[in-house]
């Protein structure tokens, strides 16, 4: 359901059923136990080793159990559809309560859900400072056309600086917020932005 409806609809779902996110994360934890790696740990390592890491302000979109906030000395704004931790600010990922150009790093770790990805990524672009970093990790099988997806991100104002698509389970990307002149080109819905949903069968 999270992958096949908008972020606004997902936010409404969890307002009506606050226990739904806990159910989701219990299932998530069971799956994660069999993964060869946890992408969030890669991002923790990345942020620990960036120059002046403690001074970087981070926005964690779809933060879950706040692993980033618990693992870093940084100021981390934690956003999700429901709160599994007191640090979480409950909101729609397309409308987070941050000022324009107020964070250095925006993170989507297995959190690019919803049918309105453009709105969600534009929100990340809004809150990032000039030259800020976008970190994305997603399930490899969600990408129908990786080149088209990265092209869509470029039209939304994110320039790819590095990627790792060698893993069997996950792809990770580091991008930079582009200059305003490049962003102006994204007047229409970028082609290639859609990701396949993760669909789970009851067993």
Positive or negative, the Cα torsion across 3, 29, 60, 84?
positive
* 192 has a pLDDT exceeding 90: no
Q: Provide the residue range defining the domain that includes 23.
A: 7-177
- CA-based R_g, the chain, Å: 16
Tell me the mean pLDDT in the region 185-197. 72
Dihedrals phi, psi of 57, to nearest 5 degrees: -95, 130
Q: Is 196 contained in some domain?
A: no
Give the tens place of pLDDT for each residue, 69-99: 999 999 999 999 888 899 999 999 999 999 9
What is the CATH classification number for the domain harbouring 19? 3.40.50.150
Count: domains in the chain: 1
Task: Please indicate, yes or no, if residue 81 is contained in any of the structural domains.
Answer: yes
Residue 188 banded pLDDT, cuts 50, 70, 90: low
């Amino acid at each position: 359901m999270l992958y096949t409806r908008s972020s606004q609809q997902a936010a409404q779902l969890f307002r009506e059923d606050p226990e739904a996110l806990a159910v989701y994360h219990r299932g998530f934890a069971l799956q994660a136990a069999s993964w060869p790696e946890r992408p969030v740990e890669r991002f923790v390592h990345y942020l620990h080793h960036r120059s002046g890491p403690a001074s970087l302000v981070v926005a964690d979109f779809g933060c879950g159990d706040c692993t980033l906030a618990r693992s870093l000395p940084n100021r981390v704004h934690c956003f999700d559809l429901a709160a599994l931790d007191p640090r979480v600010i409950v909101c729609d990922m397309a409308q987070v309560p941050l000022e324009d150009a107020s964070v250095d790093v925006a993170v989507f770790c297995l959190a690019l859900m919803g049918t309105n990805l453009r709105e969600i990524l534009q929100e990340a672009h809004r809150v990032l400072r000039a030259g800020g970093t976008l970190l994305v990790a997603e399930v490899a099988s969600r990408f129908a056309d990786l080149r088209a997806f990265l092209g869509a991100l470029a039209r939304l104002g994110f320039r790819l600086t590095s990627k790792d698509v060698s893993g069997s389970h996950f792809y990770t990307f580091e991008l930079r917020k582009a200059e305003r002149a490049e962003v102006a080109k994204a007047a229409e819905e970028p082609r290639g932005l859609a990701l396949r949903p993760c669909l789970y069968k009851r067993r």
